[in-house]
Structures are given as C-alpha cells and as structure tokens.
Structure 1
Amino acid sequence: MEILKNRKTLQDFVERQKEMGKRIGFAPTMGALHKGHLSLYEAARKENDLVISSIFVNPTQFNNAEDLEKYPRDVERDILILENSGLVDAVYIPQVEDIYPEKTESQHYDYDGLENEMEGKSRPGHFDGVGTVVEELFRQVTPDNAYFGEKDFQQLAIIRKMVEKKQLPVKITGVSIYRAESGLALSSRNQRLSEERREDSKIIYEILVSVNRWFKLKSIAEIKEKVKEILSTQSGMELEYFMIADENTLKETETVEDSKSYRAFIVVNVDGVRLIDNMHVG
C-alpha cells in the first residue's frame, strides 16, 4: 500500500494510474478507523481497479475547538488497519496546507436547504466545512466513484448535492450502516464509551427497529412520545432529537404520504458522547 503524504505525491501517483486506464474508487475519512470504514473499501473494491483512502481531520467542520482537540488520532494504527485489510492500494495523508494552501477557512455552499435541517440547526457552518474538504479532495484524487456511509445520512445527501451543483465527474455511492452484533452503529466516537455503556447503547438501534414497526400503526406524534418515554428510563442517556423526515428534502414530517420515502433520525448523548443513527422506515 502506497502512503502519500502530500499533494504532489498523490497527484503523481494518480496520474500514473490514470495513464494505465485504472478506474479509481475513493473514500475519505478523518481516521480512527473501524470496520464501518472498511465496509466502504469493500464496496469500492468490487467496482474499481484501484482504491484510495484519505485520512485528514478537517478543522473547518468543527464548531467547537474542544471537539477538534478531542477527536481521536492515531495515524500509525489507521495505516496498519488499512494494510491488514488488503482492500486499499493507497492512503493520502495530507497536511493542512495541502487542503487549505492560503487560509484555513470554508467556502460557502448552497445545498438547497439540506444544510438547514437536523445537524445544521445546531452546527452552523459545519456543512460548509464538509463541502470544502470533500470538493478539494475530489479535485485532487479525481476518483471515478466515491463511497460514504449512510450513518451520516445528511452528510451523504449534502455531498450528492454538492457534486450535482459543481458538476463534478464522480459517482457517489451510499453504503449501508455497519453495526456491531448488538446493533449499535459503528462510530469513531464509540471509543469514548466504556464497554458496558456501548452495550447499553444498543437501545438506540432497538428503538429504530421499533419505530419501523410502529410506522404503519401509530401517528408520528405517538411515535415521538414513545421514543421519549423509552429514553427517559435510561440512566445517563439524553435524547437530543428524534424525527421522521422526508429522505429527499430531510424536512421533518408529521404526516405520511404514500408517494414519499421516509427515514427516522435519532441523536442520543450517552455520558456526554453524542451518538447518531438512522433507519429507513415504512
């Protein structure tokens, strides 16, 4: 596996691969890799001649300097995971100046309102940071296909919108959420939970499974009350939000139309660790 530590080595590598006519699959990460990330590379391996990863903790998508400081970093461990997986041909580990050569600041994007829903309400500017780093990585890596997990469903929708608006020649593929045996969605944040609390947090997945069952039987208002009720009995867990939204617009809905697709979204703080999850319903 090639380890590409700056923009020049990346571009030289990509140029050689393109000259050989290789089809490139790409999945950017912020490191702290786990099996959920590897599922992206498994998907990429099936559809491409060459698979590239990137590891870059993007400063412009953090609203809170403390969150940026706390974000887990262990590049040597991440490289070992990628090498042992046998799924990745090269990993790009840029420096800040490779992504932000002048100022470390975001561009402004119009995502047709997707950025104002859910996470956007409490994290102003977050999706400008996401769009900036992903667009720059796409322009440097020039992949044919790029892969993102559905756990961050809003981010996936926003990247699709950015690619559409910027007319970038890359196909975006969403990959199903990778879950632990308990059902808990794998996340780098799970490392901050004790083993016992990770086990307790399976209640989040169990709630979503129940929501999917209730979707045809109860009103959305009744479902929301049930979710609040269940989490109110869980020690050390605080519901930040739960909603059912239109999958295309991400707007919360209180009524169901047969012609639309819906997804349940939930954010729970477990001992101060923010866990997000979602599930298609209906």
Structure 2
Amino acid sequence: MKTYSTAASLRAAINTEKRSGKTIAFVPTMGNLHEGHLRLVQHAKQHADIVVVSIFVNPLQFGANEDLSNYPRTLAADKEKLFAEGAQYLFLPHASEIYPEGMDSHTKISVPELSDNHCGASRPGHFTGVATIVAKLFNIVQPDTAVFGEKDFQQLSVIRKMVSDLCMPINIIGVATARAQDGLALSSRNGYLNTEQRSIAPTLHRVLQETREAIACGYDSYSNLEQHAKISLNKAGLKSDYFTICDARTLRPITGDTEEVVILAAAKLGTTRLIDNVTLNVNPSADWGMLAAN
C-alpha cells in the first residue's frame, strides 16, 4: 500500500493506473477504522481494480462545540488494517493541503433541502462541510465508484444528490450498517462510551426495530410512534435528539407516493452522539400501510 499526502502525487499515481485500463474505487474516511470501514473497502474491491482510501478528519464538518480535538486518531493501526484488506493507495493529506487558504475563504458546496432537517438541523453547517470535502476528494481521486456506509443515511443521501446535481460520473454505493452482536451500529464514537453506557446504547437500534415492526403491521400514526420512541429512549437513559419516520428518497414526511420509508434517529448518551436508521420497502401491489421490513 502506497501513501500520499498531496493531491498532485496521488493523482499522478492514479492516472498511471487509469492509463493501463484500471478502474478506481474510493473510500473516504476520518480514520479510527473499525469493521464497518473495512467492509467498505471489501465492497470497493469487488467493484474496481484499484482501491483508494483517504483518512482526513475534516474540520469543516465539526461545529464549535463538537469533538474535533478529541476525535480518535489511530493512524498506525489504521494503516495495518488497510494493508491487510488489500487497499492499494492511502491518501493522508494535512489540513493545509485541503484548505490551503483556510476554511473561511474556501469554496463551499451546499446541498439544499436534504441537508436541512434531522442531523442538519442539529448540526448547522455539518453537511456543507461533508459535501465540500467529499466533492474535493472526488476531484482529486476521480474515482469510477465511491463507497459509503448506510449508517449515515442522510449523509449518503446528500452525497448522492450532489453527485447527481453536479453531473459527477461516479457510481455511489451504499453498504449496509455493520453492527455489534447486540445491534449497536459500529462507530468510531462508540469508543467514548463507558461500560454502563455501552450496555444502554443498543436500545437505540431496538427502538428503531420496534417502530419498524409496528409500521410493517399496519400502524400508521407516525407522530404517535415517534413520540413513543422518544419516550422509550429517554427512559433508557438516552437523550433523544430526533426520531423521525420519513420518505427515504426525500427525507420529508411520508406521502402516498413514498416507495421506501426510513426511520432516522439520533440520541446522546453522556457526551456521545449516536445515530442509526432502519428502512422499510413499500409493497406497490398492496394497499398503503402494507409494508415489508427490510
């Protein structure tokens, strides 16, 4: 595995691969890699000849009171894991390479509507930071395919919309959320949880599953389900940020045209913010309300 710290050096290496007919898959990360990240690399290997992984803790997507300075950085271990998975290139830029004139004067990309609610409402500016760094990395790597986890469902939606709107010739692949045996979605931030909090954390996924099952059984009072879920989370010791049942394509309220439903949730456990989601596919041959759990 070769490591590059500048856009020019990485692009030169990738262009050499492309001239020989190789296809490129890209997995952008912020490091502190876990099994979920490695599954993305595994999927990338299935879709291209060359896999490029980036590690960059992007300051533009962190708010003023968020955990940028404390975000876990485990570069040596990350390199070992990527080498073992067979990634060919690692892009490891410094902030000065990405934002040479500083973040304030850097061009930014905003994806309206999809970025506005849910995590976007709780973390103003977050998705502008995400869209900007992903677009810049896409321009540096120029991949044929890029792979993202479905745990960050809203982020994946924002990236897909950006790629579509800006006519980027990149196939975006979403990979199912990797989970611990008790259902907790794998996340770099799980390392912040103490023993007691770690035992409580799987409640988020359990409540999501219970809500999905209720909808699949025909219960369509979504506001009541959302309220009940928030109460359940708060009773368990999680502080609910949002719990929303919405259209998976628009991330807006469900309508008669909805084909897939997503239930999005975020909650704090101590100082750690957890996010998760589950989806349901609408059966087009049945009456509305007949949903099959996905």
Normalised TM-score (structure 1): 0.93
Displacement of 1:196 in angstroms is: 3.9
For residue 51 of structure 1, what is the aligned residue in structure 2?
51
For residue 72 of structure 1, what is the aligned residue in structure 2?
72
For residue 197 of structure 2, what is the aligned residue in structure 1?
197
Offset from partner CA, 1:177-220 (integer Å, 9 cap, x none): 11111110000000111244223211111111111111122511
Offset from partner CA, 1:138-173 (integer Å, 9 cap, x none): 111110000111111111111111111221111111
For residue 279 of structure 2, what is the aligned residue in structure 1?
280
Alpha-carbon separation, structure 2, partners of 1:51 and 1:232: 42
Q: Does 1:238 align with 2:243?
A: no
Count of aligned pairs: 278
CA RMSD in angstroms comes to 1.6
Offset from partner CA, 1:53-72 (integer Å, 9 cap, x none): 00001111111255211111
For residue 36 of structure 1, what is the aligned residue in structure 2?
36
Alpha-carbon separation, structure 2, partners of 1:145 and 1:115: 23
Alpha-carbon separation, structure 1, partners of 2:204 and 2:8: 44
Alpha-carbon separation, structure 1, partners of 2:22 and 2:37: 22
Whether the 8 Å CA contact 1:107–1:129 is kept in 2: the answer is no
Q: How does 1:114-133 map onto structure 2 within 5 Å?
A: 114-133=114-133
Find the residue that maps to 1:245 and give its secondary structure: strand
Give % identity. 38
For residue 224 of structure 1, what is the aligned residue in structure 2?
226
Alpha-carbon separation, structure 2, partners of 1:176 and 1:21: 30
**One-letter code aligned to 2:245:** I
For residue 181 of structure 1, what is the aligned residue in structure 2?
181
**One-letter code aligned to 2:230:** K
**One-letter code aligned to 1:247:** A
Displacement of 1:225 in angstroms is: 2.8
Alpha-carbon separation, structure 1, partners of 2:114 and 2:197: 32
Alpha-carbon separation, structure 2, partners of 1:121 and 1:107: 22
Whether the 8 Å CA contact 1:25–1:50 is kept in 2: the answer is yes
Whether the 8 Å CA contact 2:41–2:85 is kept in 1: the answer is no
For residue 93 of structure 1, what is the aligned residue in structure 2?
92
* More deviation, 50-59/112-121: 112-121
Whether the 8 Å CA contact 1:107–1:128 is kept in 2: the answer is no
Alpha-carbon separation, structure 1, partners of 2:114 and 2:4: 33
Normalised TM-score (structure 2): 0.89
Unpaired segments ≥5 residues, structure 2: 281-290
For residue 285 of structure 2, what is the aligned residue in structure 1?
none
Whether the 8 Å CA contact 2:240–2:267 is kept in 1: the answer is yes
Alpha-carbon separation, structure 2, partners of 1:107 and 1:114: 20
Displacement of 1:95 in angstroms is: 1.2
Whether the 8 Å CA contact 2:147–2:174 is kept in 1: the answer is yes
Displacement of 1:110 in angstroms is: 4.3
For residue 288 of structure 2, what is the aligned residue in structure 1?
none
Sort the Cα spacing of 1:185 and 1:115 in 2 relative to 1 into closer, same or farther, 3 A.
same
Find the residue that maps to 1:263 and give its secondary structure: strand
Whether the 8 Å CA contact 2:34–2:187 is kept in 1: the answer is yes
Displacement of 1:120 in angstroms is: 1.2
Whether the 8 Å CA contact 2:61–2:128 is kept in 1: the answer is yes
For residue 103 of structure 1, what is the aligned residue in structure 2?
102
Whether the 8 Å CA contact 1:242–1:264 is kept in 2: the answer is yes
Offset from partner CA, 1:210-251 (integer Å, 9 cap, x none): 11111122511221232123223213x211111111111111
**One-letter code aligned to 2:133:** V
